[in-house]
Structure 1
Amino acid sequence: MYTNIDNNDGVKGVVEYLRTQNVYHKAISRIESLLHWVLQHNYFTYGGKLYRQVKGTAMGSNVAPAYANLFMAYHECKMWRVIPKPLLYKRYLDDILIVVKTEEEFRRYFSYMNMMSRSLKFTFVKCEKSLAFLDLKISLGGKFRREGKLNYALFQKPKSKNVFIHPECDIKPNVKFGWITGENIRFLRNSASKKEFKKTMRYFRQDLLFRGIPEDIIEKYIIYKYKHRYLYYDKKVEKEVENPPTYLVCESDVLDRIFTKFVYRVNCLYDSSIVLVVKNYHKLIDELNRLALKVLDMEDQDI
């Protein structure tokens, strides 16, 4: 999808969607200019020759997911004005899960979606009992008949090779093996039953051992069992309630004030355009609060 969106249509869609969300007009103008620059300056070499990409975003570009997501959101907003929402509609970029009552109703959605933009062409898979959506296999089984609940398990593409980081790579252990815990949590989320979780983890351990990762490392980083399925989230919430953050300004307020209403004044303060990119969440909040305090000080001086 990233490489198929027409540049002009894409930027127009993003800008129009941001306007519907009441984003500060100067921030929209800045985003529009930056998007045009990014889309017009994608270069690559092939066969010893230098090429410039003239359509879509470059694969791997940081802006690509947000750009594609906003482009789709713009067309969704238009669609909901003329067609009522179905029983269930879930989307991740251009992967969409729709549950409807009749096939005629689905055809109506599908026809409209393929007319939304020349950049978007959808295909569909019709499922009655089971389907694969992203990394989930969702099915209607005995649990659905008894309790009205869906059954779900991990889905992996048949061609998935499970090629993991080699254990002898010269990088920090937490970086080299920390992803194992992340996968452990993902498998926990994606398993509707203890049986499914144990089966998934058994195959995962086998793949790790085959890759040459020692058993003691595997045991160290696989820390969540099925019994932690709900406790993991509950403990996290309780911890935050017991030790509330001491930030002066809450995250949503900071994001709104810094990057919309006061973005121009913050830029003037630094005499340059600010681009803030922080991987660590807490560092991001700390930085936003630091900037917020400066903006609030400027307001006090004006008064």
Structure 2
Amino acid sequence: VTDKGNNFYIGSAVEFEQKATKFFSDTNAFIELSSNPFNEILDKVIQLLNTLRGKDLIRKWQYEQMIPDRTTCELAHLYFNPKTHKDGIPVRPIESTIHASTTKISKFLDKILRPIFDDKCKETTIIDDNVFAYGSKIYKQTTGGAMGSSFTLTLGNIFMSEWQQKLVEEQTKTGELYGRYIDDVFMTWNRSEEELRKLLDDANTWHSNIKLDYKINKSLPFLDVLLTNNNGTLTTSVYHKPAAEPYITPFTSDHPRHVFVNIIKISLERTTRYSSTFEEFNNERRDVKLMLLYNGYPLTFIENEFKKYFFDYKSTSPFLQYIDKEKNYIDMRQTLLGQPTFRQSQVALSAA
């Protein structure tokens, strides 16, 4: 299964290995090591935590949450996922750090810092000793953080929050929109395209490791939302990557019933949240139904789950199977948008 889109990818092993080799050479963020430093790193981590605990700088429970287990620790290993939604199908590196020496520390720090960052940032990082195995070779990452490590995302957000200050200030001065999710940025602009390109080109000089690949248009995707400027009115709809295929967990798979129910519920919730017009909602709802049928979901099961979902938001009639009027849809969408997403609920719980 591929990086995004749940496509099933079959390719040449030799070609795939060539792409992995190209990734190493293009990024220039890794060096090959002549020996395995695993034991040295493990000893350093344990010694550091013992020192902190000995000086009473961390509590016993904190020490126990971060100390690695020598019997289960192992060197992290790297693998690649094909990005079939990109031209040429490049590869994305994923580092498996489940049993690495610093994993418990990474999770502990992420748990503490992420809620603080999410709360304070509504509006250059090198991690030492990030060593992993790929094939029969051992590498050390010299720039950035491991994709797969809990703490990397939080560090990346902190870095990008600092990097983006000039852009945010520029947008705030002119009353424009600016939003970012990790390394994806969306912003509006009402001045000339020449001025915008100059600003973005300048932004590409702010840090040697940050290069913007930008697109300017009246209709652009941001993550899985398509945003369109219709003569000054911003509309949204669900965005499907060109390479995306309609594959989900098949109904014939050996999963509990609630898994299939949740797939339908999440699909309809995404449809409602992202579709700003009744027309887009109906188009996407039809596509969701076709996708479910394609993956073996019985029509009666689909219809019943659709009915339950819509009935939660529109209870005037127990027989209402569809949201069939624009006003009903707008009312339902406003109700849904007023509720926190699962992610927002998780952040609130973490910060409590």
Is the shorter-chain TM-score for this pair beyond 0.5, marking a shared fold? yes
Larger strand fraction of residues: 2
Counting only pairs closer than 5 Å after superposition, residues 1-303 of structure 1 correspond to structure 2 as 39-40=127-128, 42=130, 44-77=132-165, 85-86=173-174, 87-100=176-189, 101-127=191-217, 129-141=218-230, 144=231, 148-222=232-306, 223-224=309-310, 226=323, 227-231=328-332, 233-234=334-335, 281=345, 285=349
Cα distance per residue 1:59-110 (max 9 Å; x no partner): 3333333332221111122555688645222222222222221123313321
- What amino acid is the match of 1:231? M
- What amino acid is the match of 2:186? L
Q: Summarize the Cα distance change of 1:215–1:54 in structure 2 as closer, same or farther, 3 Å threshold.
A: farther
Query: Structure 2: any 5+ residue segments left out of the alignment?
Result: 1-23, 31-57, 59-104, 111-125, 311-321
Query: Structure 1: any 5+ residue segments left out of the alignment?
Result: 8-25, 241-278, 290-303
Give the TM-score normalised by structure 1.
0.57
Secondary structure of the 1:121 match is: coil
Secondary structure of the 1:150 match is: strand
- What amino acid is the match of 1:202? R
1:184 shift after superposition: 0.6
1:183 shift after superposition: 1.6
1:135 shift after superposition: 1.9
Query: Which residue in 2 is equivalent to 1:15?
Result: none
Task: Give the conservation status (yes or no) of the 8 Å contact 2:178–2:188.
Answer: yes
Give the TM-score normalised by structure 2.
0.50
Q: Summarize the Cα distance change of 1:204–1:231 in structure 2 as closer, same or farther, 3 Å threshold.
A: closer
Secondary structure of the 1:131 match is: strand
Identity %: 25
Provide the C-alpha distance between the structure 2 equivalents of 1:204 and 1:228, rounded to a whole number of angstroms. Answer: 17
Q: Summarize the Cα distance change of 1:188–1:117 in structure 2 as closer, same or farther, 3 Å threshold.
A: same
- What amino acid is the match of 2:289? R
Provide the C-alpha distance between the structure 1 equivalents of 2:261 and 2:296, rounded to a whole number of angstroms. Answer: 12
Q: Summarize the Cα distance change of 1:280–1:199 in structure 2 as closer, same or farther, 3 Å threshold.
A: closer
Larger helix fraction of residues: 1
Q: Summarize the Cα distance change of 1:177–1:57 in structure 2 as closer, same or farther, 3 Å threshold.
A: farther
Give the length in aligned residue pairs. Answer: 219
Query: Which residue in 2 is equivalent to 1:297?
Result: none
Provide the C-alpha distance between the structure 1 equivalents of 2:193 and 2:151, rounded to a whole number of angstroms. Answer: 36
